[in-house]
Amino acid sequence: MLELRDLRITQGSFSLTADFTLPRGRRAAVIGPSGAGKSTLLSTIAGFFPQSAGQVLWDGQSLDDTGPGKRPVAMLFQDGNLLPHLDIFRNVALGKAPGLRLSAEDRDRVSAALDRVGLAGLGDRRPGALSGGQQSRAALARILVQDRPLLLLDEPFAALGPALRAEMLDLVAALAEETGATLLMVSHDPQDARRIADDLILVDDGTAWPPRPALEMLDNPPEALKRYLG
């Protein structure tokens, strides 16, 4: 379970508070206006940006003294962060062994992840020789091999067209289901939330609101969400 306990994040004049829990295995879409603090919230949970007050806890244990690499978290950004000079196999392997010293077991794990995301046989290509959708699949394979229980996705498929995005969202949902991962995904599109989220976390006006059932929220939006949806 993820718990944000009296969390406050400040950055210059910007301030965001959050106080809620998200049970294991839940999938939450994080939605709200530009600049509301969605990316900053994910960065703080991942340990890249320190909070000014409160705590981030996983299964009741505070993560405050745990660096980003040691947190139970894997994070995926919009550009996927693939390294252009490494082939896809090694890009994915970086999720397993940052120094690329791979055991036979690691190599099997990387191959299995490439298979699972539909990239079997493409491991020796560099990112530049893959389509946008294939690059997204490679980035997903990399977080898959990290075997972390909490996945943070920051607008991962914003650059893809609607059909491809829907396909990738379905893949994320299937992977989360298979691994039992808990998911927080920033998106600007309520349709993304409808497609894969159990819950919706609205970030607006200095607050990340507690997760509430996504469909219920979208079908009957509170004022702040109505403003955002337009």
Ligand X SMILES: Nc1ncnc2c1ncn2[C@@H]1O[C@H](COP(=O)(O)OP(=O)(O)OP(=O)(O)O)[C@@H](O)[C@H]1O
Interface with ligand X by CB under 6 A: which range of 37-45, 157-165, 172-180, 217-225? 37-45
Question: Could you count the other beta carbons within 10 Å of the beta carbon of residue 48?
Answer: 15
**Distance separating alpha carbons of residues 207 and 212, to the nearest angstrom:** 14
Helix (H, G, I), strand (E, B) or coil at 212: strand
Task: For residue 123, state whether it binds ligand X (rule: CB under 6 A).
Answer: no
Task: For residue 230, state whether it binds ligand X (rule: CB under 6 A).
Answer: no
- Radius of gyration of the CA atoms of the chain, in A: 18
Nearer of residues 11 and 103 to ligand X, judged by Cβ: 11
Helix (H, G, I), strand (E, B) or coil at 202: strand
Nearer of residues 89 and 157 to ligand X, judged by Cβ: 157
**Distance separating alpha carbons of residues 16 and 20, to the nearest angstrom:** 13
Task: For residue 34, state whether it binds ligand X (rule: CB under 6 A).
Answer: yes
User: Using CB under 6 A, which of 15, 23, 35, 115 touches ligand X?
Assistant: 35
Residue 154 Cβ vs ligand X, minimum distance, rounded to whole Å: 7
Task: For residue 50, state whether it binds ligand X (rule: CB under 6 A).
Answer: no
Structure tokens at 30: 């994080």
Task: For residue 84, state whether it binds ligand X (rule: CB under 6 A).
Answer: no
Task: For residue 187, state whether it binds ligand X (rule: CB under 6 A).
Answer: no
Residue 24 Cβ vs ligand X, minimum distance, rounded to whole Å: 25
Task: For residue 67, state whether it binds ligand X (rule: CB under 6 A).
Answer: no
Sign of CA dihedral 132, 126, 69, 151: positive
Left if phi > 0, otherwise alpha if psi is -120 to 50, otherwise beta: which for 130?
Answer: beta
Tokens 């919706």 belong to which residue?
A: 200
Residues 6+ apart with CB under 8 A from 40: 9, 11, 14, 16, 49
Nearer of residues 2 and 202 to ligand X, judged by Cβ: 202
User: Using CB under 6 A, which of 40, 44, 51, 111 touches ligand X?
Assistant: 40
Q: Interface residues with ligand X (CB under 6 A)?
A: 11-12, 14, 32, 34-40
